[in-house]
Chains A and B, each alone.
Chain A
C-alpha cells in the first residue's frame, strides 16, 4: 500500500471505550491521517475491579469466583489455573475423574470462547451471519454448563481439590450429540468465512506479528501459534493429564500472505476448535469412576510457601503467582495476563495501517478487557 502518497494533516480519533468493536471497554487513541493510522495508544483500566486486592481479603476457595470474572468468556479455564496453583501450593493430588472432568470442561469452554472470538471477528470484518451461527453453537455449550452447575457464564466449578458438581445423568450423551452436530458447522464456517475472498483480502496481509516480535512481547496462545511457533502449555508442561491425550497443536502457515497475519491467528482458532472436539471425545471415552469431591479439604490452609503455575487458556498463558503466609487468606495472588502482553504489541503492528485494519487487528488478537484490567 502506498500510504505516503495520501499524506495530509493528522486528526486524533478517540475509539472507545464505548465503541461497537473494541471488545469491551478498551479505549484507543488513534492519530489518523485520513484513513491511515499514524499511531495507536491503547488506554486500559476501565474494567478494573481490584481482583488482586480482593484476593487478599477472602479465603483461598473464595478467590475462585473472582477468577471466573476476569476472563468471563472462558471462566472454566481461569478458575482451573487458580485451583491448580493452590493444589500445587498444598501438594494436593486430585483423582482421575476430577482431572478428566476438568479437561472436559476446559475444552468445552475453549470451544465456546473460540466461537465467540471467531464470531465477533466475522462481525468486525462486516459479515453478520457467521456471528449468529457461532453464537447459536455457543449457546448449546452454555446450556450444557447450565445443566452441569447452574451457571451459564461464571461457573465457580473448579474447586481446590475437586469440582463443584459431578456430571448429571445423560450429560455424556448430550455432549456427544453436540459434538456430532458441531463438527459440520466448522466446515460450514470455513466455507462461509475462512476462505471467502473478501475476508482473505481484509485479513491475510494485515496485522503481521513476526516470530521475533511475538517472542519479545511474550505473546502466547493462539496469537503466538498464529506466528508459526508451536508452543502450547498443554503439550509443553502438561497438567491435568493432558500428556495422555492425543491432539495436535495447530500453527499458522502463512498460506494466504505473510506468516503471523490476522488470518493466521483466526485460522489457528478455528483449527483449535477441531482439536478440542477430539480432546472432549477422548475425555468422554475414558471418564473413570470416582468421587469428585473426595479430596476437597475442609479448610484450605497451605503452609508458608509460594508458587507460580500457568495454564493454557483460550487466550494464552494465564499464570497465577500465589503466596501463602500460612494463614487462611492468601497473602498475595498475582495474575499474569495473556491479553495484556499481546495488547502491548498493538501499537507496533497497527501503525501505518488503515482505520479498518485496527478493527481487524483488535479482533484477531482476541482480548478480553476483564482479564487485562482485572
Chain B
C-alpha cells in the first residue's frame, strides 16, 4: 500500500496537495477494489475451469455455447441468472441470521486476500502476523456456516452446519501446526518474509526440504478439509444432506456461498504457494504475480482433480484422519523443525 501511495504521489499531478486523510484513504480504497475484483474474478475463472475439468474427466464437453470460445461466459451468465432470481427466505427462518450468514462467509474469504503476497510489492498489507491473520480470519467462515445451518430452520442444513463446524475446527489444528514448521526456520509470520526466505534457486522452496515437504501435505489436506472439498465434503454431502448448510438458500445468497467456496479454494492454494512453493518467485520471463497465480491455480486444479476422482469419507473417518493421523504427524514435524532450528 505504501508502494501504491508512492506511485500515486509521483504519477498523479497534485496528489500531494490533497488533504492528508485522502492521501491515505485513496490507496486503501484502490487496494480494496483490487481485492474485491480478484475475489470476484478468480472464482469466475475457477468455476468455469472446474466445469471444464470435470467435463473432460467425465468424457463430456462442459459449457460450450455462452460467449463463444468454449463457453467462457457461462459463469457470468449463471451469476446474472442468480441475481435475477427471487430471494426466498423460509417462513420459519431466523431472518436476520439467514441474511447475514452468506455475507459473513464471503467476508471471511475476502478479508484474507489482504495479506496474500502476489508480488514483491503487490500486497495490500504485509502484516507482521500475516500467517496468523489468515489462519484466524479464514476461520470466520465457519461462524457464517453455523449461522446458515441454524437460521435455515432445516434439519439437513443444521446437520451440514454442525458437520462443517466440527470438521473445520478439527482440521485447523494440524494445519496451523504444520504451518509452524515453516515459521520456525523463517523466524517471521510475515508473508513477504516467508517468500523472501525461499528466494534463490528452486531448491530453496520449502517443499524441497525434508520436514516442510511433509508439512506441505498436511497443510494441503487440512486446507482441503477446511474448504469442504472432496473427499472431505461431508458438510454439503449432496447424497446425504441434500445441499448441507445452504439447502434453503437460493438466488444471490446462494451465489455468495458459491463464490466464497471458490475464493477459499484459491485462498488456501495461495497460502500453500506462499508457504511452500516459493510464492511469487519464478524464472524471470514472467512477472512475479503471474507465477504466484499460476502456482496457486495449479493447486486449485489438483483440488478439482481430487474432487472428480475420489468418493467421500464418513464423519467419524474424517475425524479419525484429523485427530489420529494428521495431528500426531504435525506434532512430530514441529518438534523436528524446532530441533533443526536449534542446531
Contacts and interface: CB of A to CB of B under 8 A. Distances in A.
Interface of A: 1, 11, 13-14, 19-21, 35, 122-129, 132-133, 136, 192-193, 196, 198-199, 201-202, 354-357, 359
B57 interface: yes
B59 A198 contact: no
Contact of A128 (B54, B159, B241, B315): B54
Nearest to A357: B314
Given A20-B239, A356-B234, A198 B312 contact: yes
Contacts of B156: 13
Interface residues of B, number: 30
Given A21-B239, A198-B312, A354-B316, 11 more contacts: A20-B238, A35-B163, A123-B239, A126-B239, A126-B311, A128-B308, A133-B59, A196-B310, A355-B159, A355-B240, A356-B237
Nearest to B58: A132
B59 A125 contact: no
Contacts of A126: 230-231, 233, 237-239, 310-312
A267 to B, nearest CB: 15
Contacts of B310: 126-127, 196, 198
Contacts of B237: 126, 356
Nearest to B320: A201
A19 B239 CA distance: 8
B317 interface: yes
Nearest to A3: B316
A359 B311 contact: no
Contacts of A202: 311-314, 317
A359 B239 contact: yes
Given A126-B237, A198-B231, A355-B159, A132 B309 contact: no
Contacts of B316: 1, 35, 354
Interface string B26-69: 00000000000000000000000000001001111000000000
B240 A21 contact: yes
A126 B308 CA distance: 9
B311 A127 contact: yes
Contacts of B308: 128-129
Nearest to B158: A11
Nearest to A14: B155
A356 B315 contact: yes
B227 to A, nearest CB: 16
B242 interface: yes
A266 to B, nearest CB: 12
A192 B308 CA distance: 11
- Per DSSP, chain A at the interface is helix
A82 B235 CA distance: 46
Given A20-B242, A21-B239, A126-B237, A356 B155 contact: no
A201 to B, nearest CB: 6
A359 B315 CA distance: 13
A127 B307 CA distance: 8
Given A21-B239, A192-B309, A354-B315, A129 B155 contact: no
Contacts of B307: 128
A123, A125, A192, A357: most-surrounded residue (chain B CB, <10 A): A125
Interface string B293-333: 00000000000000111111111110000000000000000
Contacts, number: 84
B103 to A, nearest CB: 28
Contacts of A201: 313-314, 317
Interface centre among A13, A124, A356 (most CB of B within 10 A): A356
A197 to B, nearest CB: 9
24 contacts: A1-B316, A11-B155, A13-B155, A13-B156, A20-B238, A20-B239, A122-B311, A126-B231, A126-B233, A126-B237, A126-B238, A127-B311, A128-B54, A128-B308, A129-B57, A133-B58, A133-B59, A201-B314, A202-B313, A355-B240, A355-B241, A356-B312, A356-B314, A357-B314
B51 to A, nearest CB: 12
Contacts of A133: 58-59
Interface string B105-149: 000000000000000000000000000000000000000000000
Contacts of B231: 126, 198
Contacts of B159: 13, 35, 355
Contacts of A35: 159, 163, 315-316
Contacts of A129: 54, 57-58, 308-309
Contacts of A192: 309
A74 to B, nearest CB: 22
A1 B312 CA distance: 18
A355 B241 CA distance: 9
A332 B54 CA distance: 51
Contacts of A193: 311
A201 B233 CA distance: 16
B233 to A, nearest CB: 7
A119 to B, nearest CB: 11
A356 B59 contact: no
Nearest to B315: A35
Nearest to B57: A129
Contacts of B234: 356
Nearest to A1: B316
Nearest to A135: B58
A239 B308 CA distance: 42
